[in-house]
Chains A and B, each alone.
Chain A
């Protein structure tokens, strides 16, 4: 019994946020592959009828149709996380802090996300503009994560991973696809490692598995 259908593109960081969250929560779902590239199927009439924004992912659960990956993370956490720890929406401090990072994740889509699409798929955006914006966002994240480290913490909000971390993770992890390396961001590197170490973490192209954690019978 699958919980939802995901209109998905395998190379999309935003679609990956949902795939990753579903895996972390152990939620089963169906994938409907949309030919985002080279077919631009997300702009077809069929898909536009579902999501007039013409973006992916799209989540369908019964009569509910959701666009926007941050909304989907919230839906997953509110409906499939009995512990409530992944999205402490009712907490008067943690809730708004998560909201801040969900908004930040939208900025990352338009900076680091677009810089990556430009580098990989020749997306028609100005390379210098999006790369400058991406560096600005990466530096801001590095500063905030450095605060966390100095406070003895790991995650963006509170003391446990939340949808804030999952929302911001993909386009930061994938920034090297656009040649934006993580060498100057030690706090980001450690945080990425923490996310990749979570039980039931899944990868996407451009984010390698942590082979050091794999059980093997090797020498």
Chain B
């Protein structure tokens, strides 16, 4: 899948052995987005010419030259990645430090609004008629539930939002939370549109 991190276009993928990787989303051959590629075993192959890259980012196979051992200079640029508590963390600057937040991811979506507008919308969107209480650190308490909004800026005026909630909630509650996400987004985008 493709993700925007720190202004960079990143491809995130999982190998058959479960290992995850985050690379610059560009095949060094002809600049094709690797996020359109396909995973075979423990390699990611580019959709354009099928160049295979192993977990180290190094090109391992070039279909046009099946006998060739690709030189080490052909490699994808790697970023740091960590998986904690069902959330995948990527950093393009330093080592990705994930934390196990002890919450269950609900869903991830894009809001056409800046991060501060999103957080303000989280603080003001009611759930079951109750207004949220801001706990700090992107956490909110509303109608007996804890919600957390992880924000990742995209472009100049967008935010990728991942909402997490307490684990092991009944399905019906989670469906309600999902509806709350829609309402929050409407509030944020209305505010941003002004």
Contacts and interface: CB of A to CB of B under 8 A. Distances in A.
B125 interface: no
B145 interface: no
A218 B107 CA distance: 37
A146 interface: yes
Interface residue range, chain B: 20 to 34
B52 A150 contact: no
A147 B173 CA distance: 11
Contacts of A150: 171, 174-175, 178
B8 interface: no
B110 A146 contact: no
Contact of A211 (B40, B60, B61): B40
A95 interface: no
Nearest to B60: A219
Contact of B63 (A139, A185, A218): A218
A184 interface: yes
Interface residue range, chain A: 20 to 34
A212 B107 contact: no
A183 B3 CA distance: 7
A184 B110 CA distance: 5
B1 interface: yes
A218 to B, nearest CB: 7
A26 interface: no
Given A183-B110, A184-B110, A186-B108, A212 B38 contact: yes
Contacts of A151: 171, 175
A151 B171 CA distance: 6
A114 interface: no
Interface in A200-218: 208, 210-212, 218
Given A184-B109, A186-B107, A208-B36, A143 B47 contact: no
Contacts of B45: 211
A61 to B, nearest CB: 37
B157 interface: no
B105 to A, nearest CB: 10
A187 interface: yes
A208 B35 CA distance: 13
B2 A183 contact: yes
Nearest to B2: A183
A210 B95 CA distance: 33
Contact of B47 (A152, A183, A189, A208): A208
A142 interface: yes
B120 interface: no
Interface string A171-187: 00000000001011111
Interface string B92-127: 000000000000000111100000000000000000
A146 B40 contact: no
Nearest to A144: B178
Interface of B: 1-4, 36, 38-40, 45, 47, 50, 52, 60-61, 63, 66, 107-110, 160, 171, 174-175, 178-179, 182
10 contacts: A146-B107, A150-B174, A183-B110, A184-B109, A186-B1, A211-B38, A211-B40, A211-B45, A219-B52, A219-B60
Interface of A: 139, 142-143, 146-147, 150-152, 181, 183-187, 189, 208, 210-212, 218-219
Given A184-B108, A186-B108, 8 more contacts: A146-B178, A150-B174, A151-B175, A183-B1, A183-B2, A183-B110, A187-B107, A218-B61
